[in-house]
Chain A
Amino acid sequence: MSAKSTILSLPREEYVHPGTRACSGCGLAIAYRVGLKALGEDTMLIVPPSCLTVLQGLFPVAATKLPCLNVTFASTAAAATGIIAALKTQGNDHTTVAAWAGDGGTSDIGLQALSGAAERGDNFIYFCYDNEGYMNTGVQRSGTTPAGAITANTPFRGKPQQKKDVPAIMAAHHLSYVATCSAAYPLDLYDKVKNCLDYPGAKYFHIHIPCPPGWGYEPRHGIKIGRLAVETGYFDLYEIINGKLTLTAASEKLLEKRKLVPVREYFRAQSRFKVLTDEQIEEIQKQINEKWEGYYSTAG
């Protein structure tokens, strides 16, 4: 990782206009803004149906200043391939091609196209902003909705299945660069985007995105909730570079401190987890502890 950014070192150029249709306190709006700052002006975006489609504006007004192609739900990564191909035929090897899709568009309906583009080694960055559900259509469960979470179609007992580990799936494609980030740690996100530009082929970002209406908390607590997810060891910030995983930012600090905030605090701060029983929370805490034992041992 190159030098660490600070708030003051961030570029001031903004690529999103105010007055979008995003919900008040939207975690995506924070991550998207900082992500575009890192990508810069010479960038082309691809967006499938998702909250971002709404955030970025309805015809004829675009909230995004960068060129952006809206595509069908399952075709995000394939469309990125198409843009790269066209640019190559025009001798353009400098414009960054970046896809921004939600967790459903990535882990469910768009996974096949993403796997194809990754396997082809197309040179682009795929950002999955993971608010852990189909929020734009009214908070239905997705492949990355965590176990136990209440959603519109897991209304009473919460989602029975585990969260799909998409970064691991993408790492299995032997990508040069895979990273997880969080809207609550924008500087970490910014530095990782800058860092990934040096790597060839498809780069994959999985960004944890707190979502007030979807997760059930007061909008003002968005950053606190996002940080709790990391400080409890529940969602980890890391980079996988050519197959090697290293924890970064707040997760790296946890490695040194060797002390996790109890995951109960994260669950109790969100109404979507209100049906989690104490036993289930204990079980999840056990899984987190085992995972971190793994991190501690590899860190040595």
Chain B
Amino acid sequence: MHIIENGNVAAAMGIRLCRATVIAAYPITPQTPLTEKLSEYIDSGQMKAEYIPVESEHSAMAVCIAAASAGARVSTATSANGLLYMHEQVQWASGARLPIVMCVVNRAVGAPWNIWNDQQDSVSQRDTGWMQLYCADHQQIIDTVIKAYWIAEKSSIPVMVCYDGYILSHTYMPFDLPEQEKVDLFLPPFRPDYVLSPAEPANLNTVTLPDTRVDIHGELAHGYMEIRYLLQEDLRNSLELIGQAEQRFSEIFGRGTDPYLEDYLCADAEYVALGMGSITYQLRVSVDALRAEGIKVGVMGLRVYRPFPDEAVAAALQGKKGVIVFEKALSYGYEGALASDLKAALYDRLAATGALPRVRGFIAGIGGRDIRTAELTSSLRSAIQETTHTGPLWIGLNL
């Protein structure tokens, strides 16, 4: 059944359909309509859950960490400086292997204050041990929330579902509302391997020494390094899980694409544009325009940023003459983080073939600066025609 709603509501509906039972979130533009909608569902009895009006984002994640440790399926959502304030807890949640799903409604970070869209907030959290899934439209938002819970609970690794503030969060578009029965089929009730409780007492996350140490059964327990290694190992293995989630979702709901890369006209393309989120759909218009000019170009939307699908990306781009990366964030002091990750994947996987695609980086839409499609198209065209390499070019800069 199709409905027309904004991206925040799509996310809220996804959380409700997943039967999360503890919601803790602190208001921050542009995330607020999401948490308001959840409060409506709960107060109106449409959703059986505890809504915790926490006093900060740091506490929002604290509530989620504790509730998840005690066996509840939890949810939170935030943006920009809320996510940055929560950073200490974000690291804690992955270290504690808690399957928390958090919606990140992408917004520029301070200073200075800016409530509009870019992706600096979530991209800056790429090293925290969380998975990061990016959405290009409302259908992907609601579907990705549902997949995220399945992936998180299978891997015991928290997942961020990221979508563009305002451009998606506050924009109304039609999307199919999955039926509750199908979601219940896709996502079984939350049965963690261990639930903190008086019935089975344990002391979680206490000081862990550098070296391994014998436990009360005389067995050698892991040290801190092993625990962190196993997080990394499971994160890498999660690429496989993400594929299974896509497969399982499409079997039940009848829709699905490549789990890692959403491809538009790339099969015969010589050049491919790459990005994350709604900009990749806007780029389709530029691709169509350049195709009309006889330029063989396509666009790929990266749906999974962490764990980085380096193998899939390299395979998809093998033989292309060039890749043009469009990012709404950057690793200050160098270049777009996605561009760096892309080059690394291509270098690792394709250097031996002697045919490395050229990579050009663009930075656009920082702090909600409008990205005019015509400018996207001209940038894409110039990047294809020129061969010189320079650092990322900023589109729409008034300097």
Contact = CB atoms under 8 A, between A and B. Distances in A.
A113 B198 contact: no
Interface in B62-104: 62-72, 74, 88-89, 92
Interface in A46-96: 46, 53-54, 56-62, 64-72, 74-75, 77-83, 85-90, 95
A57 B92 CA distance: 19
A112 interface: yes
A61 B216 contact: yes
A120 B369 CA distance: 39
B209 to A, nearest CB: 6
A70 B206 CA distance: 6
B66 A115 contact: no
A279 interface: no
Nearest to B212: A60
Contacts of A69: 66, 69-70, 196, 204-205
A177 B228 CA distance: 42
Contacts of A89: 21-22, 48-50, 72
Given A69-B69, A70-B205, A120 B197 contact: no
Contact of A85 (B22, B58, B92, B201): B22
Interface stretch (A37-45, A163-171, A223-231, A286-294): A37-45
A86 B71 contact: yes
A86 B22 contact: yes
Contacts of A74: 58
Nearest to B61: A75
A90 B62 CA distance: 19
Given A59-B207, A78-B59, A67 B221 contact: no
B60, B69, B196, B221: most-surrounded residue (chain A CB, <10 A): B69
Nearest to A73: B88
Interface in A246-274: none
A116 interface: yes
B67 A85 contact: yes
A116 B54 contact: yes
B56 interface: yes
Contacts of A61: 213, 215-216
Interface string B43-58: 0000011101111101
A67 B202 contact: yes
Contacts of A83: 66-67, 69-70, 196
B interface, size bucket: 35 or more
A80 B66 contact: yes
Nearest to A42: B198
Interface of A is mostly: mixed
A46 B59 CA distance: 14
Contact of A115 (B55, B68, B197): B55
Contacts of A67: 196-198, 200-203
Contacts of B59: 75, 77-78, 81, 112-113, 116
Interface string B187-228: 000000000111011111111110001111000010000000
Interface residues of A, number: 45
B204 A70 contact: yes
A118 to B, nearest CB: 10
Contacts of B221: 59-60
A70 B70 CA distance: 13
A75 B196 contact: no
Contacts of B157: none
A58 B198 contact: no
A120 B53 contact: yes
B70 A86 contact: yes
A32 to B, nearest CB: 14
A47 to B, nearest CB: 8
Contacts of A70: 203-206
Interface in A157-180: none
Contacts of A86: 21-22, 66-72
Contacts of A116: 54-56, 59
Interface string B338-366: 00000000000000000000000000000
Contacts of A42: 198
A142 B89 CA distance: 23
A42 B69 CA distance: 17
19 contacts: A41-B198, A54-B207, A60-B213, A67-B196, A69-B70, A70-B205, A71-B62, A71-B66, A77-B59, A79-B62, A82-B52, A82-B66, A82-B69, A82-B74, A83-B66, A83-B196, A85-B50, A86-B22, A89-B50
Given A43-B198, A116-B55, 8 more contacts: A41-B198, A67-B203, A68-B203, A71-B92, A82-B52, A82-B63, A82-B68, A85-B21
Q: Give the 8 A-B CB pairs with smallest separation, nearest first.
A: A82-B66, A116-B55, A75-B62, A78-B59, A62-B203, A86-B70, A78-B62, A82-B63
